Structure 1
Amino acid sequence: MKTIEREIVVIGAGPAGLCAAIEAARAGAQVMLVDENSRPGGQLFKQIHKFFGSAEHMAGTRGYEIAGSLARQAADAGVEFWPDTVAYGIFKEGVGLVRGEQGYIVKAGKTIVAAGGSEDPVAFPGSTLPGVMTAGAAQTLVNVHRVLPGRRIVILGSGNVGLILAYQLLQAGADVAAVIERAERIGGYGVHAAKIRRAGVPILTGSTVVAAEGTESLERLHVASVAADGSVVPGSEQTIEADTLCLAVGMSPLTELLWQAGADFDYIAELGGFVPLHDSRMESTVPGLYVAGDVTGVEEAPIAMEEGRLAGIYAAEACGRLESAAAENLRAHAIERISQLESGTGESRKRARHKQLNDMQRSCCGKEC
């Protein structure tokens, strides 16, 4: 075990972590960015579609192009990138890392956790058959490795991830048999739904998969209508022949490191489940431990990027690398961009974020945060 020192350690090299590292390094901080993958970018490398939004958030640019741009900016800023590195704990002694066969304890002045989120599973009879996979796994196969996950595919979930995946599979030559959504309305943008509907793909709302069957791998799915109380409607079952089912039913923050570090949490369903409490500086209830991106609550990539920028700015300022006036100018621009992005997320998510900040204030009453 080796012990080393760095001014700021950023865990996770997705959009939030990259932006945090870039801002802190540009301020003059010594920044180490670690990720378990071999290259920075996180989920962006799976995303071949063009992003919506403003020019500031790279609208009209494909996800993998954004990843490449951020990686170059990080290198130009002097960020020290450690690929293929697992962060296994945050201790009083420092951040625990494993790279290859070597273990490290990194004594960090400040730590930023941008670990992202993980896809939610669904359990039903046959859900462990080969051919049943997450949407992210399918995106990795088709968009990164150029391999179709199957020939006749069903998507479970009509959020943006499911709808975009359905269109990408169609472009790659797959037969998308259906998109199935438990709710009565699609969860993603209408523009994505319109594309796959024009291609003749049915979107079965108010429905769910009740079972999967196959001898050695998936061969067919049993789909049924769902009543208002969540129960399956008797007699509504239909069979869809398919060799692949892609699960796109949501994500949850990857918070294990923060639990282990002793951060306080709250359960906020709109943000994906248990989320770490943080203040307006993106600092958790553990002093010197900052959070950004989907680990704070599942959002779109542009919001994750801005949260990362905020965390990087505040961490650099706390290390004495930014004058207050310069930090305030950078913060103001990032906060304004976040406000613009959140204006389109809906009132429920705004209330959820407000609750997260309020609960942080209550958690810190009577103790040092």
Structure 2
Amino acid sequence: MRDVEVLVIGGGPAGLCAAAAAASLGAHVLICERDYVPGGQLVKQTHKFFGSEKQYAGDRGIAIGRRLIEEAHQNPNIEVLTEATVIGIYEDGIVTVFHRNQHIKIRPKRTIITTGASEKFLAFPGNDLPGIYGAGAVQTLMNVAGVKPAEKVLMVGAGNIGLIVSYQLLQAGVEVVGIVEAAPRIGGYLVHASKIRRAGVPILTGHTVKEAYGKDKLEGVIVCKLDEKFQQISGTEQDIPCDTLCLAVGLTPLTELCWQAGCEMAFIRELSGHVPLVDENLETTVPGIYAAGDVSGIEEASSAMVEGRLAGYAAAGSLGYEPEKAHERREAAAAELSELRSGPTGEKILAGLEKTAAKLAARKGEAKGC
């Protein structure tokens, strides 16, 4: 049994920033990361970030990841366990971790869940053929393993992930034959879409995959148009030969540990699935357990890092570590989040957060009534 002040589950951008924030106030932090190296999605993101200097604007994701990892390893208040999968949070508060062929039991005073998200997939005939990947898997093959994943790719999804990975495929010498997007317009940033269009890659909005075909592996994809109710329009089929179909159709928060811990959950469409209800400190309905990053709603990595800092300051402050400074820094992080979510791109997230706040308020009202 190990006693820990702050346990951070997940060593991605949110987790690393949460650990750094809590440690900066004096708290002792343990990060459990299931991969062999921390960094999460940052380790394969070669594009430059937007935002402000505080969110590392102008730096590439891989450089940000290296910086955060180095800072964690150099901080005497932070311990990083890699190849450490958290397999349970139990009713007595004990957390079980499988670390390199042994089980470790941890008794944390505060827990910050930053487990991130998993990729969504599409259902269509032939979707089990070899050659059909999630965009994250393709990005890992290219940018982490150094493997050229395909010769001719069709991308599904024109959000930021689909656009960015398409451009990175082009940089790796892969032919991108097109991008298919079900929505009537592109969902990603215009700057990413413009680079794709300048490269001559067609973006078919209002289209979807009807079926994939091939004998022993993917040989091509049939796409078709969608009407205003997202129903396939007969007679609009196009046959697109390709050896790889890359799916970038969204992410789902990885909330299994939140469910197991007994956190109050709600399905919020704008946040991409079931998420834990959290207060202004990102504390869940289970006292002492916080949730930050994609596990509490899908956003950009910049927002995940700021949420991580906010949760880290809140957790350390609740343990008595410089509570005034913790409050000031938490307020500054909250202001950063508001700035990141301003404008049209943040409307969806803000709508989702309003729903979670309303559900949390209703829950508290019910509790008072009892």
Matched with 1:86 is 85
Matched with 1:114 is 114
Q: Give the aligned residue type for 1:226.
A: L
TM-score (norm 2): 0.97
Unaligned runs of 5+ in 1: none
Please state how far the C-alpha of 1:51 moved relative to its aligned partner: 0.6
Matched with 1:173 is 173
Is this contact kept in 2: 1:46–1:139, CA < 8 A? yes
Unaligned runs of 5+ in 2: none
Is this contact kept in 2: 1:264–1:363, CA < 8 A? no
User: Take 1:189 and 1:342, find their aligned partners in 2: how far apart are those partners?
Assistant: 14
Provide Cα deviations, 1:142-167, integer angstroms capped at 9, x if missing partner.
Answer: 11112111100000000000001111
Superposed, 1:172-321 pairs within 5 Å as 172-321=172-321
Please state how far the C-alpha of 1:121 moved relative to its aligned partner: 1.0
Matched with 2:332 is 333
User: Secondary structure at the residue paired with 2:331?
Assistant: helix
Provide Cα deviations, 1:60-106, integer angstroms capped at 9, x if missing partner.
Answer: 10001101111122123221000000001111141111112211110
User: Secondary structure at the residue paired with 1:231?
Assistant: coil
Q: Give the aligned residue type for 2:262.
A: G
Q: Give the aligned residue type for 1:100.
A: R
User: Take 1:235 and 1:165, find their aligned partners in 2: how far apart are those partners?
Assistant: 30
Q: Give the aligned residue type for 1:83.
A: T
Is this contact kept in 1: 2:340–2:346, CA < 8 A? no
Q: Give the aligned residue type for 1:130.
A: P
CA RMSD of aligned residues (A): 1.1
Is this contact kept in 2: 1:93–1:105, CA < 8 A? no
Q: After TM superposition, which residue ranges in structure 1, 4 or more long, deviate above 4 angstroms?
A: none
- Is structure 2 residue 21 aligned with structure 1 residue 15? no
Matched with 2:364 is 364
User: Secondary structure at the residue paired with 1:346?
Assistant: helix
Q: How many residues align?
A: 365
- Is structure 2 residue 32 aligned with structure 1 residue 34? yes
Q: Give the aligned residue type for 1:320.
A: G
Please state how far the C-alpha of 1:332 moved relative to its aligned partner: 2.0
Provide Cα deviations, 1:113-171, integer angstroms capped at 9, x if missing partner.
Answer: 00001110111111011100000000001111121111000000000000011111111
Q: Give the aligned residue type for 1:30.
A: H
Please state how far the C-alpha of 1:23 moved relative to its aligned partner: 0.8
User: Take 2:104 and 2:19, find their aligned partners in 1: how far apart are those partners?
Assistant: 20
Matched with 1:346 is 346
User: Take 2:145 and 2:348, find their aligned partners in 1: how far apart are those partners?
Assistant: 37
Residue among 50, 53, 57 paired with 1:52: 50
User: Take 1:189 and 1:175, find their aligned partners in 2: how far apart are those partners?
Assistant: 22
Provide Cα deviations, 1:173-225, integer angstroms capped at 9, x if missing partner.
Answer: 11100000011101101111111111110001110111001111100100111
User: Take 2:299 and 2:50, find their aligned partners in 1: how far apart are those partners?
Assistant: 14
User: Take 1:327 and 1:194, find their aligned partners in 2: how far apart are those partners?
Assistant: 42
Is this contact kept in 2: 1:85–1:97, CA < 8 A? yes
Q: Give the aligned residue type for 1:14.
A: G
Matched with 2:103 is 103
Report % sequence identity. Answer: 47
Is this contact kept in 2: 1:209–1:223, CA < 8 A? yes
User: Take 2:168 and 2:6, find their aligned partners in 1: how far apart are those partners?
Assistant: 38
